[in-house]
Amino acid sequence: MKTKFNFTTGAQPGEDCALSDLAPGQSGQVLEVDTSVAAGRRLLDLGFLPSTTLHVLRRAPLRDPVVYELRGYRVCLRRADAARVRVRVQLADEDDA
């Protein structure tokens, strides 16, 4: 049965995608950040550096903003800003390396 609702379960483990594509409960490792604009450079300042592991904690009811946990703190980002970060999806039980 096809519906008009678009329920996503997030990306698959091992897949490379935008941070904004991860679903709550998923983890990922930062691959790169688009620094062509000031917002991308600010993300680097916030700790979104390559090889950093992060977790998606929760999403607002209308999918924007999203709360992420990385480097021992939590940060809330809009989807447009999170789309500037490329991540590799990790299994839920993978340790932070």
Domain annotation covers residue 59: yes
Give me the number of domains the chain comprises: 1
- pLDDT tens, 20-56? 999 999 999 999 999 998 988 999 999 999 999 999 9
Predicted TM-score of the model (pTM): 0.80
Q: What CATH number should be reported for the domain holding residue 86? A: 2.30.30.90
Question: Is residue 37 one of the residues assigned to a domain?
Answer: yes
| 85 lies in some domain | yes
Write out the residue range of the structural domain in which residue 23 sits: 16-90
d(CA 21, CA 44): 19
Confidence (pLDDT) at 91: 78
Structural contact between residues 53 and 29, judged by C-beta atoms closer than 8 angstroms? yes
7 in a domain, yes or no?
no
Residue 97 lies in a domain: no
Nearest CA to 90 out of 63, 43, 58, 54 is that of 54
